[in-house]
Amino acid sequence: MMSQVETLIASKLVSDAEQQGIKLVISRSLLSRLLGCRIKKIEVWAYVVWVLPERGSPRFVSRNHIWNGFHEIRKKEAQVLSVHPPRHSSELALVVNACNSFSFSILSENGHPVCECIDFQRQREVLGVEHSACKHILAYYSSLRT
Ligand SMILES: [Zn+2]
């Protein structure tokens, strides 16, 4: 079950994607995981995304299905991350993935948490800082509730 914060983020992402017409932040690796196949080509249409898998026939996938699926994947990935206290005053937290030892600083920008990872930076270009949420940000929000 989604928390209030996560629901808010998800609904914002969906509504912003809808308002911005064809602008949709799609990560090829996330889409591959969501659809369970390797992706050769993607085209974002008005209400759907046309996907050409490396093997098999092209198909259409609804944008809402992709947004909700991406959020669920990020939320699941956030569960294995550990959130550590800030190391300096400009840091909100340090999020560490124990599996691969990657770590990302969560910083504050005009009161909004920001992450330095590629996923966040891609979302930020389209949706802005306040509506972007990577797995590290979701892990950080989750740590605030405990
Ligand atoms: Zn991140």
Residue 23 has pLDDT above 60, yes or no: no
Q: Within 13 Å, how many C-alpha atoms sit on residue 107's CB side?
A: 12
Backbone phi, then psi, for 41, in 5-degree steps? -150, 145
Q: How far is the CA of 58 from the centre of ligand 1 (A)?
A: 31
Nearest CA to 68 out of 19, 7, 20 is that of 7
Q: Per-residue pLDDT tens for 48-80?
A: 888 999 999 999 998 888 888 888 999 999 999
Residue 8 has pLDDT above 60, yes or no: no
Q: How far is the CA of 27 from the centre of ligand 1 (A)?
A: 13
Q: Band of the pLDDT at 144, cuts 50, 70, 90?
A: very high
Nearest CA to 93 out of 133, 141, 145 is that of 141
CA–CA separation, 145 and 125 (whole Å) = 28
Q: What is the pTM of this model?
A: 0.74
- Going from the C-alpha of 79 to that of each of 37, 62, 74, 142, the distances in angstroms are 24, 26, 9, 9
